[in-house]
Amino acid sequence: MKEKTFMNTGKQQKPVLTGQRFKTRKRDEKEKFEPTVFRDTIVQGLNEAGGDLDAVAKFLDVTGSKLDYRRYADTLFDTLIAGSMLAPGGTRMDEGDRTKVTDHCVFTAEENQTALRGYAQVFNKLIRRYKYLEKAFEEEIKKLLLFLKAFSESEQTKLAMLTGILLANNSLPPQILTSLFSDNIVKEGIAASFAVKLFKAWIAERDANAVTSALRKASLDKRLLELFPANKQNVEHFSKYFNEASLKELSDFLRVQQSLGTRKELQKELQERLSQECPISEIVVYVKEEMKKNDLQEHAVIGLLWSCLMNAVEWNKKEELVTDQALKHLKHYAPLLAMFSTQGQSELVLLLKIQEYCYDNIHFMKSFSKIVVLFYKADVLSEEAILKWYKDAHAAKGKSVFLEQMKKFVEWLQNAEEESESEKEED
């Protein structure tokens, strides 16, 4: 009988469980209204503190122990930045009710670096005190960037300046800027306009090098063109826009980064064509087209060609054999190099690349002069370029070894030059 009673008792637990579920639902339902209580407390505290940002910071510090900042972080940051809770899209939920809105927030601050630096310090203090708010703050800024269309131009400017200051202080990661690549703000020009103001504030706090370094580390250096619509995503438009905004440093930075990216692609394609032993004439046409399309200078291309040619071969490990192997290979491709060494600067770049390669690859140490002489005979390098390199344009790497190697040939060139000049005088 006892066993039977025990089992019956077990079956009678169901109503109790149902009751508990019902209570949970009621509690959840009640909590839906709690953000308004939270908001009212924050609004009241901000209104009482007024324009005293130290008092604001102190209020937020103390209130964090009473209110649930973790649960209502979005309400907290909405109120601190926009003055009220924001609906999806960025509209103010309580704009008509002045008791639920504060006039002491980022959007009503003065439009200058000093005022917004003060607000940045408020956020820094708050997040240092309540570390768990760090991620929520990042999400808030990303959300506000997507809502930019809902804000006035002045509010956009203040948010841009605040964000730039926070980026400069490492209070926000540069990755938040990806929110600016959203189509809805890009196509109306809001993203680019906002970015310019943000970068100016960032540079004012640090310097242009700090900004470009942060962008590079965050892999945003090649994505900056995405601030513009697809039909304007080119270096020329970016440069014009940023130069007019007095941000030449970023314009130059993008040009360099795009050029580096282009060079990597060019190098990859060249190596592929060399491995397939494509005709030299085809490679010349391809390289010239890429130079024109990407505004690449000859002196930038010659170094790439040299690297690709030297990477295309598995070199013999024996020093006495590698020179013959290199000369045979380079003699074949000398016409290719000759097409892109028509300027003195390009020739000097090539000479320095050869010097660097022969120094860095020990088996080539004795090959330097033979390669230079080969290129002289094949019209890749001119007499003037070789003499200039020998006199004062050489690098420090292996300087004494390579100058000694070139000594007799340089003397021959100088004597030939003198003979040529004396012949002209006789004529």
77-86 exposure pattern, b = at least 16 Cβ within 10 A, e = fewer: bbbbbbbbbb
Residue that is written with structure tokens 């700090």 in the block = 210
State which of 241, 276, 311 marks the end of a domain: 276
φ, ψ at 208 (rounded to 5°) = -65, -35
Would you state the structure tokens that stand for residue 171, as one six-digit string?
Answer: 């209070």
> By residue range, what is the domain housing residue 294?
277-417
**Does residue 25 sit within a domain?**
no
Number of domains in the chain: 2
251 assigned to some structural domain? yes
- Interacting residues of 192 by C-beta distance below 8 A, sequence separation 6+: 186, 227, 228, 241
pLDDT given at position 416: 75
Residue 294 resides in a domain: yes
Cα gap 283→262, rounded to integer Å: 16
- Note the pLDDT tens digit of each residue in 32-75: 447 888 999 999 999 999 889 999 999 999 999 889 999 999 99
- Do 239 and 318 reside in the same domain of the chain? no
pLDDT, tens digit, 9 for 90 and up, residues 368-408: 999 999 999 999 999 999 999 999 999 999 999 999 999 99
303 and 379 in a single domain? The answer is yes
Count of alpha carbons within 13 angstroms of residue 359, beta-carbon side? 16
Instruction: Give the residue from 276, 306, 327 where a domain finishes.
Output: 276
User: The CATH number of the domain where 343 resides is what?
Assistant: 1.25.40.180
The reply to whether 336 and 312 lie within a common domain is yes
| Domain identity same for 286 and 406 | yes
Which residue from 82, 78, 85 is spatially nearest to 106, judged by alpha carbons?
A: 82
SS3 state of residue 229: coil
List the pLDDT tens digit at each of the 427 positions of the chain: 444 444 444 444 444 444 444 444 444 444 444 788 899 999 999 999 988 999 999 999 999 988 999 999 999 999 999 999 999 888 888 766 777 889 899 999 999 999 999 999 999 999 999 999 999 999 999 999 999 999 999 999 999 999 999 999 999 999 999 999 999 999 999 999 999 999 999 999 999 999 999 998 999 987 999 999 999 988 889 999 999 999 999 988 887 777 777 778 888 899 999 999 999 999 999 999 988 877 788 988 999 999 999 999 999 888 889 999 999 999 999 999 999 999 999 999 999 999 999 999 999 999 999 999 999 999 999 999 999 999 999 999 999 999 999 999 999 998 876 665 555 555 5
pLDDT score for 191: 97
Asked whether the whole model's pTM tops 0.75, one would answer no
What is d(CA 317, CA 320) in angstroms, rounded to the nearest whole number? 9
Q: Which of 228, 245, 276 is the last residue of a domain?
A: 276
- Let me know whether 254 and 289 are in one domain: no
- Are 255 and 284 within one domain? no
Q: Is residue 134 one of the residues assigned to a domain?
A: no
Q: Domain check: are 362 and 347 in the same one?
A: yes
Query: Is residue 128 assigned to a domain?
Result: no
Within a domain: residue 64? no
Domain co-membership, 155 together with 213: yes
Bridge partners (DSSP) of residue 92 are 86
Give the angle 136-98-56 at the CA atoms, nearest 5°.
45
Task: Identify whether residues 304 and 381 lie together within a single domain.
Answer: yes
- On whether residue 311 sits in a domain, the answer given is yes
Beta-carbon contacts of 15 under 8 Å, excluding residues fewer than 6 positions away, are none
Residues 270 and 291 placed together within one structural domain of the fold: no
Tell me: do 255 and 329 sit in the same domain: no
* Distances 381 to 334, 337, 390, 412 between C-alpha atoms, Å: 10, 9, 13, 15
Residues 246 and 311 in one domain: no
In a domain, 110, yes or no: no
